[in-house]
Amino acid sequence: TSHGPSVSLSADEWSSQWSTIVSSFYPGSIVGFLLMPIMVSRLGTKLSMGILSFPSLLGCALQLLAALPSAGVVLLDIALCGGRFLVGIQAGAALCFLPLFLIEISNPASRSLLSTFQQVSQAVGTLLGLLFGSETLFPMGEYRIVWLQLIAAIPSVLLIVLLSVTPPTPHYLMHEGVEVTKVLDSLKYYQGTSADLLSLQNDYTSHAMKGQPRSRIPSASWKGFAIGSLAAVSYSFTADDLIDTFSSTILHGAQGEDPSTGYIPEIDHSADLMSLGLGVVLVLASLGGSFLVDRFGRRPLIILGLIFTALFNFIASFFLSSLPSVVLLFFALTKASIGLGAGAPAWFLTSELVALPYVPLFQSLSTGLLLCSSMIVTFFYLPLSLVSPPLSLLLLSSIPSLILAILLFLFLPETKDKSPRDIELKLASRTLSGFKSKVDEIGRNGFSNYGSLRDTEYLIQ
């Protein structure tokens, strides 16, 4: 734009600087997910999320410095990297917040379905980002940077207001030992006519730490955390973040353009339309995926989703420098595979695989590992693409996705409609917990066969 600094960079400099700016979001998100369990144990989930929303507002304010006409390269880097780092703190905390908050406000019967909508909300947020981030689709003129920061601050402001006007969660009130009438009022607020105080008491008791020392975390929970972390990390290798962040760059590259020299306006407009279309595909697929995951289970959908994303990205990688229409088609199929299967379970599986008292700790850590892997992928994509565009997508998506699909097939048990105790027993009983076992009435192993995609539960003879 005409309002703001103008910096000329070579292709290598542009790739390095832009990768650094994009990746600066992730160290902040790591700080956010590390702070979340510590603050939750002291302040509760709702208050912790409200406090950790303020860094996002500071980050938006800092990035306004990039709009100064006198801003040079150094100030531009500080403003954008520092701002994205602060925004990342809120984002990292928010990714941990939703599964923890749902545990505190929802009944167990509806919790699994509600958890899948994290993928939907993220898809909608990405779509809005693609829309507002495109000057060709949503022109804002010379004060574009200013408007973008104001728009970006709106969700954090709304969240802070919403958290301030809603009552404390039932779990938090029980933890604080307040009178039963206040607990019941909170329960009715969040659950309506389905509120059940006895169910809440049982649920809270199962989540209570009861003073267990950290060293006594059961081995099954450590194993569940490892498997849940594999599922979480798999999301970063679906290429969802790569497509969202670099879709215009990739599609321009398929037209043979050099991003450091500027884009042809007509192609720029078409690439933005294509990116927006991919965002629409992800939103629609994620809506369908929420019900599919709750209907058919987590195991088959995440495994098949990873296999298909690996396949579609593998095919797309061979056309990155030649045929944008083919790249667009297979990126759309990748987005559909993410929304229908590979996306939603990655965000909450850890909370279903570990013993209930350790969900805040392990869910936060697995989300953090997802963010760390996403940081690595986004940082290395552009440098690798300068060497070989097909190789970049193969190394950062298709190959790791396929490897993780195999590992999850071997180790991931189905968690749908299983009690925490059932899952704990399954994890503790077999090294390869993705296998199906038949056991007799007194618990001795009968025989086992290779696990299917659909079901890994114990069958009682």
Residue 37 pLDDT > 60, yes or no?
yes
Of 16-25, 235-244, 404-413, the poorest mean pLDDT is in 16-25
92 vs 100: CA distance, rounded Å: 13
| In the chain, where the domains are located | 11-166+209-422, 430-460
Residue 215 has pLDDT above 80, yes or no: no
Higher per-residue confidence, 267 vs 350: 350
Q: In the beta sheet, which residues pair with residue 459?
A: 438
The percent helix, strand, coil of the chain (3-state, each to 5) is: 75, 0, 20
Q: pLDDT at position 252, please?
A: 56
| Cα–Cα distances in angstroms (integers) from residue 57 to residues 61, 128, 131, in the given order | 6, 18, 21
pLDDT at position 249 is 63
Residue 265: enclosing H or E segment and its boundaries?
helix 265-296
Is the pLDDT at 382 greater than 90? The verdict is no
Confidence of residue 401 (pLDDT cuts 50, 70, 90): very high
Residues contacting residue 452 through CB under 8 Å, at least 6 positions apart: 436
Which of the pair, 133 or 414, is modelled with greater confidence?
414
Read off the pLDDT band of 204 (50, 70, 90): low
Residue (of 118, 125, 117, 116) closest to 56 by Cα position? 125
Q: What is the pLDDT of residue 121?
A: 84
- Alpha helix locations (H) across 44-176? 45-51, 54-63, 73-105, 108-115, 117-132, 144-165, 170-176
Please tell me which residue, 6 or 269, carries the higher pLDDT value: 269
The C-alpha angle with vertex 345 and arms to 318 and 233, in degrees rounded to 5, equals: 55
CATH domain 11-166+209-422 topology: Growth Hormone; Chain: A; (1.20.1250)
Q: Which among 377, 8, 422 is positioned nearest to 220, based on CA atoms? A: 422
If one compares 115 and 147, the residue with the highest pLDDT of the two is: 147
What mean pLDDT is predicted for residues 406-423? 87
Span 277-282, mean pLDDT? 87
Under the banding of pLDDT at 50, 70 and 90, the label for residue 338 is: very high
- State the pLDDT at residue 205: 62
CA atoms of 116 and 113, how far apart (whole Å): 6
On average, the pLDDT of the chain sits at 78
pLDDT band at 172 (very low <50, low <70, confident <90, very high): confident
Tell me the C-alpha distance between 145 and 88, whole Å: 18
pLDDT for the residue numbered 237: 92
pLDDT one-digit tens code per residue, 54-77: 999 999 888 888 777 666 666 777
Alpha-carbon span 338 to 187, nearest angstrom: 34
Asked whether the CA dihedral 238, 242, 247, 251 is positive or negative, the reply is: negative
Position 416 scores a pLDDT of 83
Instruction: Give the pLDDT score at 303.
Output: 94
If you average pLDDT over residues 340-349, what whole number do you get? Answer: 85
- Cα(375)–Cα(362) distance, integer angstroms: 20
pLDDT at 211: 41
**What pLDDT is attached to residue 335?**
92
Lowest mean pLDDT among 107-116, 352-361, 407-416, 431-440: 431-440
Q: Please state the rounded mean pLDDT for residues 324-333.
A: 85
Rg (C-alpha) for the chain, rounded Å, is 23
* 3-class secondary-structure state, position 445: strand
Report residue 394 CA to chain centroid gap: 21
pTM more than 0.85: no
Calculate mean pLDDT across residues 372-383: 83
Does the pLDDT of residue 441 top 50, yes or no?
no
Which residues lie below 8 Å from residue 73, measured CB to CB, with a gap of 6+? 5, 7
Cβ proximity of 435 and 412 under 8 Å: no
- pLDDT of 444 strictly over 50: no
- Return the pLDDT at 409: 94
